[in-house]
Amino acid sequence: MSHKGKSILYLAAAILLSLPVVSCRTTNNNTHTYRPYNERRNRGNSSTDDNGSTTKKADDKKKPIPQSGHGLVSDEWARLDIKLGRKDNKKLYMELKRWLGTPYVYAAHTCGEGTDCSGMVMEVYLEVYGIKVHRNSAKMLEQNCEPIELDDLKEGDLVFFITSSDGHVSHVGIYLKDNKFVHASSSRGVAVDDLRQNYYATHFHTAARVITKDDK
């Protein structure tokens, strides 16, 4: 190679070495967005790296969240034999415990004999809070409630689901705590389930709080 050629080669190498190093790492958008249960139910199986981005842990490939209560609802929760704190509404828990196991009967609302979802909610609210709510779950949401964010859910709030193909609210339950709620299941009667269970997470519509005349 000629002396002129070597000079050109050295000049090119010097130019390359002087260029800035560009990182392939993208910036992370940390803007908080509200996500319903069907998008956030696996939040416990993720971790956050140093940049705030979410990465799945190696155990994500374990068994999927079951559609029954197994694995998410312990025997204590299923019987409502859980330890209550000072702020827990003991009257609510005691009343719901009376309803556990009541068979599902459409259009019925009698503890121990038969009930549907809205019938149980109607009777429990009347007994515990002295509030009369609508007999129909869709009208209950429309006329007696104010939608709230999932993070604002408190004991006694209601959770609504769309389980029918017409896209209308068709199921309701009473929220307790730790993602657990009590409702009248068409297959198991009155039972405790977890909002993170696949079926309920997928069909979840909204959380809501019953409002009274004083709240308006």
Is residue 198 domain-resident? Answer: yes
- 183 classed as catalytic: yes
What confidence tier does 45 reach under pLDDT thresholds 50, 70, 90?
Answer: very low
pLDDT, residue 80, reads 97
Report yes or no: 104 and 185 within 8 Å, Cβ to Cβ: yes
pLDDT one-digit tens code per residue, 135-165 = 999 999 999 999 999 999 999 999 999 999 9
Q: What does pLDDT average to over the chain?
A: 79
Q: Check 109, 111, 145, 171 and give the catalytic one.
A: 171
Tokens of 70: 């197994």
- For the chain, the first-to-last Cα distance in angstroms comes to 90
Please, which pLDDT band fits residue 39 given cuts at 50, 70 and 90? low
Residue with the two structure tokens 């799945």: 56
Q: Is residue 91 part of a domain?
A: yes
Whether residue 180 is contained in a domain is answered as yes
Residue 22, in any domain of the structure: no
Quickly count: other Cβ atoms within 10 Å of residue 42's Cβ: 13
pLDDT band at 215 (very low <50, low <70, confident <90, very high): confident
109 is known as an active-site residue? no
Parent domain of 196: 75-210
DSSP assignment string, 1-55: --HHHHHHHHHHHHHHHHSPPPP-PPPP--------HHHHTTGGGEEE-TTS-EE
For the stretch 74-127, pLDDT in tens is: 999 999 999 999 999 999 999 999 999 999 999 999 999 999 999 999 999 999
Can you read off the two tokens belonging to residue 175?
């929220």
On whether the CB atoms of residues 119 and 107 are closer than 8 A, the answer is yes
Asked whether residue 89 is domain-assigned, the answer is yes
Helix (H, G, I), strand (E, B) or coil at 104: strand
Q: Which residue is catalytic, options 109, 111, 117, 205?
A: 117
Tell me the β-bridge partners of 206: 160
Burial profile 163-178: b = 16 or more Cβ within 10 angstroms, e = fewer: beeeeebbbbbbbbee
Torsion of CA 26, 27, 28, 30, to 10 degrees: -170
Q: Model pTM?
A: 0.70
Instruction: Spot the catalytic one: 111, 145, 183, 205.
Output: 183
Considering the domain boundaries, does residue 170 fall inside one?
A: yes
Domain count of the fold of the chain: 1
Coil, helix or strand at residue 62: coil
Whole-number pLDDT of residue 121: 98
CA 122 from chain center: how many Å?
22
Comparing 189 with 15, the larger pLDDT belongs to: 189
Asked whether residue 165 is assigned to any structural domain, the reply reads yes
Please indicate, yes or no, if residue 166 is contained in any of the structural domains.
yes
Residue 100 belongs to a domain with what CATH number?
Answer: 3.90.1720.10
